[in-house]
Structure 1
Amino acid sequence: MSRRALLVEDDHAIATVITAALEEEAFTVARCESVAERDRLLAGEPFDVMLTDVVLTDGDGIATLPAAMARCPAMPVIILSAQNTLDTAVRATDTGAFEYFPKPFDLEELVRAACQAADGRADAGFDDPGAPGALPLIGRSQPMQDVYRMITRVLRNDLTVLVLGESGTGKELVAEAIHQLGARKNGPFVAVNTAAIPRDLIESELFGHEKGAFTGATQRHLGKFEQANHGTLFLDEIGDMPPEAQTRLLRALQSGRIRRVGGGEEVAINVRIIAATNRDLQPLIADGTFREDLYYRLAVVPIQLPPLRDRHGDVEPLARHFLRLAALDGLPARRLTPAGAALLDGQKWRGNVRELRNFIYRAALLAREEDIDTGLIGQLLADRPPLAGGQAPADLAQALDSWLAEAAPSPGTLYHAALAAFERPLFEHALRQTGGNQLRAAQLLGINRNTLRKRLTDLQIGSDGH
């Protein structure tokens, strides 16, 4: 049986592709490019589903959507957007949309959602997340779009969330976003780093203690659970929690009640739990240091945060955001040049967003001019501490292994042969990053300009990096 879809999209190429894919699934598709034309079509025959862009030729597809949905309350809506921010995702779901797809999207997934919507299977839909508050996350890369979509799915429920990711990726910001935009936004948000609490105090910190429970307990102390009552409790570095505390945490999650250390009565608590870790919990479960039943209690909704190196295009907006924050924190107002932004974007930020933030603050402090360009950035990059333990990144080690297997240098020449092989691509990279400027390339490399010139001549590398 044919299903009717209304596609509101002003990009002809995108509209053509979506139409063809929907028609393959027995949809009859009506197309338009404006709010006015959309409303005219909605006043006619009913549609089983509407797919709409946000930016249309004569208005905002989201801002004008409530009136359209009031005319057709039974029609599910799928929102498409190239404005790929958390704010857009929240605005989209705030309308009660069935689904939200940032561009570029997976066409197969979009068509599957359209079929579910048209057939009345609302299990894939979003709940109304309420009005957006302060949005702490920045980035429009595809990996961050996946994070935003997961966040919008948990805003109007109390499912336990486990945020996974490397150090410095912003796990606490995800927890703050879920709290600020969710149903518990008027309650407290309490964050605790379980790895920073001494082992013998962690139960007291989490569950509280009664007066006289131990030496030094001169009065009753309310733990983090009670402090977060009717709000959100964020348990960071959960993978480092001692086994005995894991047992009590599991009991609290199962029962919704806690007992203070030294206390005889249980206290009912009403908190949402968001946990986070930068560790792979599976090996910890295998060796018995992390409870498997606790893992399943915490990982009801896992959210994987991408490392900054996988967030292509996000470094520049993050850097500019940190410059604004630095100015608000009393540092001189600075601007990032396009060349400087390109140089930052080409780096492997081992410490992720946290390292980038600290780097930008340092640049704002040390810059002698208003513009932060490649010169200063190159100097600061050269001053960055080496990898922990002097270890080379895994991909570089693999490249060295591949080169050794292919080149097979003779015994006694390995050191100099390897240096010669890797020196050329290193210098070429530095020149590309600095637009062929040898002074800045030398600063980036941390060597003397004359040394660089000599090596470029020896290696017959031109100023364009070839």
Structure 2
Amino acid sequence: MTPRGNILVADDDAAIRTVLNQALSRSGHEVRVTSNAATLWRWVAAGEGDLVITDVVMPDENAFDMLPRIKKARPELPVIVMSAQNTFMTAIRASEAGAYEYLPKPFDLTELLNIVTRALSEPKRPKLEQRQDDQPEAMPLIGRSAAMQDIYRMLARMMQTDLTVMISGESGTGKELVARALHEYGRRRNGPFVAINMAAIPRDLIESELFGHEKGAFTGAQNRSTGRFEQAEGGTLFLDEIGDMPMEAQTRLLRVLQQGEYTTVGGRTPIKTDVRIVAATNKDLRAGIAQGLFREDLFYRLNVVPLRLPPLRERSEDIADLARHFFKRAESEGLQAKRISSGGLELMKRYPWPGNVRELENLIRRLAALYPQDEISTEIIEAELRTSPEPAPEGGTMPDDLSIGQAVEMFLQRYFASFGGDLPPPGLYDRILAEVEYPLVLASMTATRGNQIKAAELLGLNRNTLRKKIRELGVNVYRNSKQS
């Protein structure tokens, strides 16, 4: 049977009050509505209402300022907060202030009614500790799209837990940023955050890197070395590219998750550990299980809370906010303040962004460093995207007989011309070399179908050097599932 309750609604928008009043009343609830926080507080203080639905920004008081009073006076009363300021920090502040749920505006009415039913049915959750040091300008995640709102709400629910999280998503979507947010806004924020990338470490050294080793455990082990588990004690251990972990290390990791202890390489005494595990992958681990490359039991231990990060092409409405954020970061580093023309932004929204947010950040940094104009024109954006390693569908193509040198020369001619006769800032040599590295590594990895050994041989690089460049440059390529 669907529970019925007395619901208090506060919103200064008359249309929203009317919609909620009608929808909740049709569902069998008693509803009282108000346009201000003072009336809402008077009702709550008088013991009225089984549930509160309130906007964050009210004419007389912010709901986040009122929530602590509500939770102190009536800790069992669930409060649903709504906000048009739908950022990551809004979701976090709502959770930490003790809100039952946060809904971004515009909200889905059916979803809200389902939340109301759940709130009236479930046991009331305890009050959460409110943090005083959160500032909106320190926002770790950017975006107001529906896809990011789902991420924010999921993260807010997990902040006060130690559940193991598996983050999946393409390269460059921000998996480590999400892992850091889970740590820095969670209950383990006073402990260390330690990250390790499985793809960047030789396979025969991963166990030593994770669990440490004793003196003499293997050739070259002249001293005892601490592992990442020991370094992360009391905090969070982020296991990036978990799909690249060799089977032997997977077995040892499974024991840690099952028994809460491990032994160092060459050691015999079990060591108790207290860390939160957050893993990440850009691979299909279920396919890896089918191919015998990943343990199924470990997958289910890690995949307690699955969290998929959308690629940038699925949230193109966030590009303007992200661009402003990266321009501000460049400005803080001493570069000139810039903005992108409306036409340029439209082109960027249609571009597929194979390198995702990391590729966008690289583009913004390039625009901030290489172009003197205050406003980056549509023509500049079109030229940059057309000469990007993976061009947009509507972008032009180079002539078939154009050499690499001619292509670079064409780019440099446009680049120097953009300064209107002035010289570009110093450091041009290193900047151009950095620009060439990305397409060179990408083309080599694509040609070898993602086989890093063959790509390293093709480039004449050490494999570890190649792995480091892939990570630093944000190269996103098809990876052969059988690569070694």
TM tier, shorter chain? 0.7 to 0.9
CA contact (8 A) 1:10 1:57 kept: yes
Q: Which of these residues, 31, 34, 42, is aligned with residue 32 of structure 1?
A: 34
Cα deviation for residue 53 of structure 1 reads 0.6
Q: 1:199 to 1:120 in 2, by over 3 A?
A: closer
Q: 1:58 to 1:119 in 2, by over 3 A?
A: same
Partner SS for 1:121: coil
Partner SS for 1:353: helix
Verify: 1:99 aligned to 2:110, yes or no.
no
Partner SS for 1:341: helix
Task: Give the structure 1 partner of residue 287 of structure 2.
Answer: 283
Identity of aligned residues (%): 51
CA contact (8 A) 2:82 2:105 kept: yes
Please list every run of at least 4 consecutive aligned residues from structure 1 whose deviation after the TM superposition is greater than 4 angstroms: 125-134
* TM-score of the two chains, using structure 2 as the length reference: 0.77
Partner SS for 2:70: helix
* Cα deviations by residue, 1:106-144 (Å, 9 ceiling, x for unpaired): 322211221222344347x99557456443111111110
CA-based RMSD of the aligned residues comes to 2.3
Q: 1:311 to 1:24 in 2, by over 3 A?
A: same
Q: 1:348 to 1:132 in 2, by over 3 A?
A: farther
Q: Structure 2 CA distance, aligned partners of 1:185 and 1:142?
A: 27
Task: Give the structure 1 partner of residue 166 of structure 2.
Answer: 162
Q: 1:148 to 1:128 in 2, by over 3 A?
A: farther
CA contact (8 A) 2:77 2:124 kept: no
Task: Give the structure 1 partner of residue 202 of structure 2.
Answer: 198
Q: Which of these residues, 358, 363, 378, is aligned with residue 382 of structure 2?
A: 378
CA contact (8 A) 2:340 2:377 kept: yes
Aligned residues: 393
Task: Give the structure 1 partner of residue 144 of structure 2.
Answer: 140
CA contact (8 A) 1:90 1:132 kept: no
Task: Give the structure 1 partner of residue 299 of structure 2.
Answer: 295
Verify: 1:273 aligned to 2:262, yes or no.
no
Query: Quick one: which amino acid aligns to residue 25 of structure 1?
Result: S
Verify: 1:313 aligned to 2:317, yes or no.
yes
Cα deviation for residue 33 of structure 1 reads 1.1
Task: Give the structure 2 partner of residue 255 of structure 1.
Answer: 259
Q: Which of these residues, 215, 218, 231, is aligned with residue 211 of structure 1?
A: 215
Q: 1:83 to 1:357 in 2, by over 3 A?
A: same
Q: Which of these residues, 226, 230, 246, is aligned with residue 226 of structure 1?
A: 230
Partner SS for 2:167: strand
Query: Quick one: which amino acid aligns to residue 359 of structure 1?
Result: L
Moved more, 103-112 or 127-136: 127-136
CA contact (8 A) 1:130 1:182 kept: no
Q: Structure 1 CA distance, aligned partners of 2:299 and 2:199?
A: 17
Cα deviation for residue 87 of structure 1 reads 0.6
Q: Structure 1 CA distance, aligned partners of 2:119 and 2:93?
A: 19
CA contact (8 A) 2:97 2:128 kept: no
Query: Quick one: which amino acid aligns to residue 385 of structure 1?
Result: P
Cα deviation for residue 331 of structure 1 reads 3.2
Task: Give the structure 1 partner of residue 482 of structure 2.
Answer: none
Q: 1:73 to 1:262 in 2, by over 3 A?
A: closer
* Cα deviations by residue, 1:276-306 (Å, 9 ceiling, x for unpaired): 0011111111111111100110011111111
CA contact (8 A) 1:86 1:135 kept: yes
Query: Quick one: which amino acid aligns to residue 90 of structure 1?
Result: I
Q: Structure 1 CA distance, aligned partners of 2:324 and 2:96?
A: 28
CA contact (8 A) 1:22 1:29 kept: yes
Task: Give the structure 1 partner of residue 463 of structure 2.
Answer: none
Task: Give the structure 1 partner of residue 354 of structure 2.
Answer: 350
Task: Give the structure 1 partner of residue 179 of structure 2.
Answer: 175
Task: Give the structure 2 partner of residue 458 of structure 1.
Answer: none
Q: Structure 2 CA distance, aligned partners of 1:209 and 1:45?
A: 61
Q: 1:43 to 1:204 in 2, by over 3 A?
A: closer
Verify: 1:15 aligned to 2:22, yes or no.
no
Moved more, 376-385 or 216-225: 376-385
* Cα deviations by residue, 1:132-172 (Å, 9 ceiling, x for unpaired): 64431111111101111111111111110000111110000
Query: Quick one: which amino acid aligns to residue 155 of structure 1?
Result: M
Cα deviation for residue 13 of structure 1 reads 2.3
Equivalent residues in 2 for 1:117-132, closer than 5 Å: 117-122=119-124, 127-128=128-129, 130-131=131-132
Partner SS for 1:327: helix
* Cα deviations by residue, 1:57-95 (Å, 9 ceiling, x for unpaired): 223122222223433333211111111111101111111
Unaligned runs of 5+ in 2: 397-410, 415-484
* TM-score of the two chains, using structure 1 as the length reference: 0.80
Partner SS for 1:235: strand
Verify: 1:236 aligned to 2:240, yes or no.
yes
CA contact (8 A) 1:2 1:27 kept: yes
Moved more, 290-299 or 335-344: 335-344
Partner SS for 2:65: coil
Q: Which of these residues, 87, 95, 106, is aligned with residue 85 of structure 1?
A: 87
Unaligned runs of 5+ in 1: 388-392, 397-425, 429-442, 447-466
Structure (1 or 2) with the larger CA radius of gyration: 1
Q: 1:70 to 1:126 in 2, by over 3 A?
A: closer
Cα deviation for residue 264 of structure 1 reads 1.6
Partner SS for 1:64: helix
Partner SS for 2:203: coil
CA contact (8 A) 1:129 1:156 kept: no
Q: Structure 2 CA distance, aligned partners of 1:76 and 1:304?
A: 28
Partner SS for 1:100: strand
* Cα deviations by residue, 1:319-368 (Å, 9 ceiling, x for unpaired): 11111112223433323333333332232211110000001011111112
